[in-house]
Structure 1
Amino acid sequence: MTENARLRVVILGCTGSIGRQALDVCRQHADRLEVVALSAHTGTEALTAAAREFGVRAVAVTSEEHAHDPILEELPQGCSLLCGHEGLSELARFDSADCILNSVMGAAGLEASYAALKAGKRLALANKESLVVGGDLLMPLASPGQMLPVDSEHNAIFQCLEGERADEVHAIWLTCSGGPFFGMTAEELSRVTVKDALKHPNWAMGAKITIDSATLMNKGLERLEAMHLFGCDLDRIIVLIQRESKIHSMVEFADGSTIAHLGASDMRIPIQYAFSYPDRWETPAERLDYRALGGLTFDAPDTNTFRCLALAERAGRTGGTAPCVLNAANEVAVEAFLGHRCSFTQIADIVERCLDQHDAERVVSIEQLIEVDIRTRALARSLVA
C-alpha cells in the first residue's frame, strides 16, 4: 500500500454484528478505507445492498442454498460472485486487498484466516475460533503486526503490551461482564430460557456469542485465544468479572504495575484500531464520561456453576485437538439450545461428554482439524436430547 492510499479492506461475514459495525467504521472513514470485497452466509439481501453501496469488486456467499438467490442479480456491474468456503478463502487471498477482517462465525472461519496469513495479508481477527481450533498452525505464519485482534479484550491486551517486554508480564487479567446470570446457582440456571440468555447486560452481539457469554464459554475460548496470541501460559491468563464492561482487560507486570484499557462498550473502537494500527483515528463511538461512571466492580467467576469455563481450561491444558472438540461440541449445543432442543445447563453436559470421548492428537494440518470437527459435531448431535 502506497503512502496516503486508502487501506483496501475485505470484510468476511459482513452481515453479522461485527461485520455491520465494520461497515459503519468504513463509512465514517471513507477517506482512509476502501471496501473491495464482502462475504455473507445467508444474508444475500444485506450483502447485495452493501456491495452496491461500497462498489465492491467481489462477493462470496458461503451457503450453497443461497448462492443463487435472485437478489444477487442486482450486484454492481463487474462484481464477481464466489460461492462456498472455497470462495471465502479466495476472498481472504484477494489480490486487490491489504487487510482481511475475518468476522465469520465459528470454526468456519479457520480456513479463511489460514489463507489470509499465507497470502501475507493483514488479518483483523474477529473469529476467535481460528486460534482456539488452529492456533498451533496459524501463529507460526503470522509476522509481527500482521495479525490484529478485534475481540475487545484481546485488542485491549494488545494495546497494553505495546512497547512492553513479554518476559516482564506477570499476568493478563481477562475481563468479562459475567453475563446475564451472574450470581445464579446451578439450579436457577437449569430453568433459564433462550429469551433470558439473549439479554446481555452490556453488549449488543449475535445470538451465538451472546449465549456463549451467558455460559462463560466465550471467556473460556478467549483464554485459549490469548494463550496463542500473546504466548502466555493459561495459569497467567486470569478471568476477572468486571460487571460494567468498561475495563476491557489489564496487563500486570513483574514490578506490580498494571496497565488497564478502559473505554466505551462499543465494538467499533477495536475494529477501527485493527484497521488504523499503528495510528489512532477519531473515535467512531460516543466518548465515556468517567465522572459519571460511578464505580467499577470486580469479582471472580464461579467455575463450578458456569462449567463451560472449566471445560475450556481442561481443553487448553490437554492441547492438541482437544480445543477443536470443545469448540465443535459447543457450537452444536448452543444451536440446540437456541432451537429449544436442550436446556441451558445441558450445553456443558454435551461439551463434557464429547471431550470425555476424544483422544487428543497433536495438530498437524487443517484437514485433520476439519475431520475432528466433523466427527465431534456428529457425536454432539447424537447427544442432544
Structure 2
Amino acid sequence: MKKIFLFGATGSIGESSLNVIKENPDHFALSGISFNKNSTRVKEIIGNFHPEHIFTTNEKSYSWLKKENNLSNTISISNNIEELSEFLNSDNVDIIISAISGFAGLETSILSVQTGKKVLLANKESIVAGGDILIPLSKKTGANIVPIDSEHNAILQCIDDYSAIHNITITASGGPFNEISDSDLENISPQDALKHPTWNMGAKISIDSATLVNKCLELIEASYLFNINESKINLVIHPQSIVHSIVTYSDGSSLCQMSNPDMRVPIAHALSDENRLNINFRELDFDNLSLSFSAFPKSRKMIEDLAREVCKIKNGSGIVFNAANEVAVDAFLNSEIKFLEIFDVILRTFDNVQLSKELDIEKIYEIDKASRIMAKKVVESTSN
C-alpha cells in the first residue's frame, strides 16, 4: 500500500488523481492533501479518503479547518512549510503528486523533490522556471520526477532506447481557435477562449491552450526532463487529441502513445511501478477513428522561437517567459488586454528583464518578481 500526498487536491488534476486512487484502493491510500479555498470539496475528500494531514496557506481555509467539529482530533493541520516538510519526509508519504498550477507550485515542487521520493509532476511551470535547480536537486536527493501531463508522460512511455532517439514530437489540439484566422481573433472574449474542444481544464491552462503558449512551455519542459536539445523537439497540431506524443528513433521507427483525452491515463501510468493499474476508461473506437496532423501555425512562430531561445540560453529566461505569460493571461481574463496582445506582453517583457548565470531559489523568485513588474507595465502601456 503506497501512501500519497496530493498538492492541489481540489483542482482538475487533483480530481483526476483522486479518481485513480479511488479505483485502486488496494494499491494506494491518500495520506495528505493541500488546498486553497474550496472547503466544500475538501470536506467531501476528508469523508471519502480520510487523509492524515491537510496543508493550506489560505488563512480563511486554515481557520475553517481548525474550527471544524471533530477534525483537529483526527487530522493534523498545518499552514507552515516546516510542519509540511516534516510530514512529507515521514513514513506517512511514499509518493507526492504536485498538481498546483502556475509558478505558485514551484515552492512545493522543490519541497517534494527535496524528500528524495517519487514525485508525480503536473506543474510544468516548475520545470520551465525552476528546471535549472529542480533537475540537479532530483539527482542529488534521488527523487524520481515522473511527469503526469499527457504529452510528457506519453514521451516517457514511448522511450525504450534513449541513446537512439532521433526526435520527439509533441502534439497540440490547436485549442478552440484552430481554424480561425488571426484577424478574427482580434476581438475574441475570455469566455470564447475558455471553451476547449477536447479537455476539461482550469482557466489559465485553457487560455494557454488557445494561444498555444502551453506547447511552448511543454517544449521547454521536455528539453529539461529528457535532457534533449530543442532542435530535436517538434510541435504539430493534432485536433483529435488522441496521439499525445511521438518518439522517432534512428532506425526510422516511431512510437506513439494514444488514448482518449483523460488525465487519469497518464496519472495511472505514473503511479504504477512494474504492473499497470486498472481504471475505467473509454476505449478508442478504431472502426470510426480518423486522425489528422498539420504544421504548427506560422502565426505562433515568434512564441515558439522564443521558447527555443529559452532552451538555448537558460540563465533564468524560462522564469521571465512564464511570469510574463501568467501576467498576460490574467490581464486578458480581466479584459485589460486583447487576445493577441498576450504575445506582445511576453515578447516585450522578455526583452527587458535581466537574466542571471548564477541561479538559486532566491534568484529565481527575484527574477520572477522583476518579470511580473515589467509585464504589468507592458499591460498598462498596452491598455492605455
Q: Which of the five TM-score ranges fits, normalised by the shorter chain? A: over 0.9
Map 1:44-55; keep pairs closer than 5 Å. 44-55=39-50
Which of 198, 207, 212 pairs up with 1:211? 207
- Report the secondary structure of 1:292's partner residue: coil
Deviates more, 1:54-63 or 1:261-270: 54-63
- What is the rounded CA distance, in whole Å, between the counterparts of 1:16 and 1:45 in structure 2? 13
| Whole-angstrom distance in 2 between the partners of 1:166 and 1:269 | 23
Structure 2 CA distance for partners of 1:342 and 1:306, relative to 1, 3 Å: farther
Equivalent residues in 2 for 1:142-221 (5 A)? 142-143=138-139, 146-161=144-159, 164-221=160-217
Query: Within the alignment, does 1:258 sit opposite 2:254 as a pair?
Result: yes
Q: Does the Cα contact within 8 Å between 1:172 and 1:252 map onto a contact in 2?
A: yes
Residues 87 and 218 from structure 1, CA distance in 2 versus in 1: closer, same or farther, beyond 3 angstroms? Answer: farther
User: Paired residue for 1:228?
Assistant: 224
Q: 1:93 and 1:216, CA in 2 relative to 1: closer, same or farther beyond 3 A?
A: farther
TM-score, scaled relative to structure 1: 0.92
Q: Work out whether residues 63 and 84 of structure 1, in 8 Å CA contact, stay in contact via their aligned partners in 2.
A: no
Partner of 1:102: 98
- Deviation of 1:376 after TM superposition, in Å, equals 1.3
Change (3 A) 1:196 1:282: same
- Aligned equivalent of 1:289, options 285, 291, 294: 285
Whichever residue aligns with residue 197 of structure 1, its letter is A
In structure 2, distance between residues paired with 1:377 and 1:89: 28
Cα distance in structure 2, aligned partners of 1:353 and 1:99? 40
In the TM superposition, what is the alpha-carbon distance from 1:240 to its structure 2 partner? 1.2
* Residue of structure 1 equivalent to 2:337: 342
Q: Name the CA shift for 1:94/1:193 in 2 (closer, same or farther; >3 Å).
A: farther
- For the 8 Å contact 2:116–2:143, the answer to whether it is kept is no
Q: Structure 1 pair 378/314, CA: closer, same or farther in 2 (3 Å)?
A: same
- Name the TM-score, length of structure 2 as normaliser: 0.93
Q: Which moved more, 1:30-39 or 1:273-282?
A: 273-282
SS of residue matched to 1:37: strand
2:80 and 2:12 map into 1 onto residues whose CA distance is 21
Check conservation: 1:169, 1:253, Cα contact below 8 A. yes
Contact 1:8 1:36 in 2 (8 A): yes
> Are the structure 2 counterparts of residues 145 and 85 from structure 1 closer, same or farther at C-alpha, using a change threshold of 3 Å?
closer
SS in 2 for 1:382: helix
CA distance in 1, matches of 2:275, 2:54: 29
CA contact (8 A) 2:316 2:359 kept: no
Q: Measure how far apart 1:292 and its partner are.
A: 2.1
The offset of 1:306, in angstroms, is 6.4
The correspondence for 1:37, drawn from 32, 37, 54, is 32
* Cα deviation code 1:300-356 (max 9, x no counterpart): 111434643333233333311110011011111111111222111111111111101
Which structure 2 residue ranges, 5 or more long, are not aligned?
none
Contact 1:101 1:125 in 2 (8 A): yes
Contact 2:65–2:77 under 8 Å retained in 1: no
User: What secondary structure does 2:287 align onto?
Assistant: helix
SS at match of 1:188: helix
Contact kept, 8 Å, 2:212 with 2:300, in 1: the verdict is: no
Give 3-state SS (helix, strand or coil) of 1:260's partner: strand
Q: 1:241 aligns with which of 224, 233, 237?
A: 237
How much does 1:180 deviate? 0.9
Is 1:310 the counterpart of 2:299? The answer is no
Computed over aligned residues only, the root mean square deviation of the Cα atoms, in angstroms, reads: 2.0
Q: Deviations over 1:236-260 (max 9, x none)?
A: 0100111110001000001111001
- Trace 1:109-128 onto structure 2 (pairs within 5 A): 109-128=105-124
Contact (CA 8 Å) 2:85, 2:111: kept in 1 or not? yes
Change (3 A) 1:66 1:346: farther
Distance in 2, Cα, partners of 1:91 & 1:221: 31
Q: Which amino acid aligns with 2:295?
A: A
1: CA distance, partners of 2:67 / 2:6: 18
Question: Is the contact made by 2:119 and 2:143 (CA closer than 8 Å) also made in structure 1?
Answer: no
Query: Which digits, 9 at most, give the CA deviation of each residue in 1:155-193, with x for residues without a partner?
Result: 0000000xx222210000111111111133322221111
Alpha-carbon distance in structure 2 between the residues aligned to 1:89 and 1:299: 46
Unaligned runs of 5+ in 1: 1-5
CA distance in 2, matches of 1:88, 1:188: 48
Look up the equivalent residue of 2:109 and give its one-letter code.
S
- One-letter amino acid of the structure 1 residue matched with residue 6 of structure 2: I
| Pick aligned residue for 2:349 from 345, 349, 354 | 354
Change (3 A) 1:200 1:363: farther
Per-residue CA shift, 1:276-313, capped at 9, x if unaligned? 133201233222221121x1100111143464333323
Contact 1:318-1:360 within 8 A present in 2 as well: no
